[in-house]
Chains A and B, each alone.
Chain A
Amino acid sequence: MIKVFKSQMTRTLVIRFFSSLLTLFFLVSFLFFLIRLSPGDPTDKYISAKLGSELSEKIAEKFSLNQPVSNQYFSFVANVLRGDLGVSYSYRLPVIEVIREYITFTFLFSLISFILQISLSIWLALWVIKKRNKWLDNFVTNSSLFVYSIPAFVLGVVLIYVFSVKLNLFPISGLKSLDYDYLPFLAQILDRIHHLVLPLITLTAAGVAMFYKYIKESMDDVLQQAFIVNLRATGVSEKTILKGHVIPNAIRPLISVAGVELGILLGGTLITEVIFGLPGMGRLTVDSILSRDYPLVLGCVFAAGAVMIAANFLADIIKLKLDKRLVKGILN
Chain B
Amino acid sequence: MKPGFKIVHWIIFLWLLILILRFDVLIDYLFLFFSYINLLFTDTGSALVFLDFHFIDASLSTMLFLLIIPLILIFNKRLGFVKAGLNFSFAFLIMLGFIFLFAPIISNENPEFSKNLSVTKLLPPLSSVKQLELISVETQKLSDAENFSLKSEQVIKPAFNDNIIFADSIVVAQTVIYYQKNEAYEIDSKKLIDKKGQITIEEKFFLLGTDEFGRDLFTRLINGTRISLTVGMCAVILSFIIGIILGFIAGYRGGLPDIILNRFTEIFLAFPIIYLIVLILALFGSSIFSVIVVLGISGWMSLFKIVKSEVLSIKQKNFFSTAELVGLGKVQLLLKEILPVILAPVFVNILFLFSNVVLAEAALSYLGLGTGSEYPSWGSMISSGQEYITKAWWLIAFPGLGLILTLFAINSSGRIFGKLINPRLKE
Contacts and interface: CB of A to CB of B under 8 A. Distances in A.
Interface of A: 19, 22-23, 26-27, 30-31, 34-35, 38-39, 45, 142, 145-146, 148-154, 157-158, 160-161, 165, 220, 260, 262-263, 266-267, 270-271, 274, 285-286, 289-290, 292, 294, 297-298, 300-301, 304-305, 308-309, 312, 332
A271 B363 contact: yes
B415 A34 contact: no
A150 B355 CA distance: 11
Interface string B376-392: 00010011001001100
Contact of A263 (B266, B271, B407): B271
B267 A26 contact: yes
B411 A153 contact: no
A289 B283 CA distance: 9
Interface string B398-415: 001001110110011001
Contacts of A142: 412
A158 B396 contact: yes
B282 to A, nearest CB: 4
A289 B282 contact: yes
Contacts of B379: 153
**Residue of A165, A294, A301 contacting most chain B CB atoms (<10 Å):** A301
Contacts of B271: 27, 263, 304-305, 308
6 contacts: A35-B283, A39-B285, A145-B412, A151-B403, A151-B404, A153-B366
A45 to B, nearest CB: 8
B41 interface: no
A158 B367 contact: no
Given A35-B283, A145-B415, A157-B400, A289 B386 contact: no
A153 B407 CA distance: 14
A277 to B, nearest CB: 12
B426 to A, nearest CB: 12
B47 interface: no
B280 interface: yes
Contacts, number: 124
Given A161-B393, A308-B270, A285 B404 contact: no
B70 interface: no
Contacts of B415: 145
A158 B400 contact: yes
Contact of A146 (B282, B355, B408, B427): B408
Given A151-B403, A165-B389, 15 more contacts: A27-B267, A27-B270, A34-B280, A145-B412, A149-B407, A150-B404, A151-B363, A154-B404, A158-B400, A267-B272, A271-B367, A294-B282, A294-B283, A308-B270, A308-B271
Contacts of B283: 34-35, 38, 45, 294
B276 interface: yes
Contacts of A309: 270
A157 B378 CA distance: 14
A33 to B, nearest CB: 11
A142 B270 CA distance: 30
Contact of B369 (A31, A160, A165, A289): A289
Contacts of B269: 260
A206 to B, nearest CB: 10
A168 B392 CA distance: 18
Interface string B110-148: 000000000000000000000000000000000000000
B114 to A, nearest CB: 24
Nearest to A39: B284
Contacts of B281: 289
A154 B278 contact: no
B362 interface: yes
B263 interface: yes
B408 to A, nearest CB: 4
A297 B285 CA distance: 14
A50 B366 CA distance: 29
B272 A153 contact: no
Nearest to A332: B262
Residue from B274, B368, B411 whose CB has the most chain A CB atoms within 10 Å: B274
Given A148-B411, A154-B403, A38 B284 contact: yes
B64 interface: no
B273 interface: yes
A26 to B, nearest CB: 5
B272 A305 contact: yes
A301 B359 CA distance: 20
A270 B363 CA distance: 10
B389 A220 contact: no
A312 B266 CA distance: 11
Contacts of B280: 34
A219 to B, nearest CB: 13
Nearest to A152: B363
Contacts of A267: 272-275, 363
Contacts of A308: 270-272
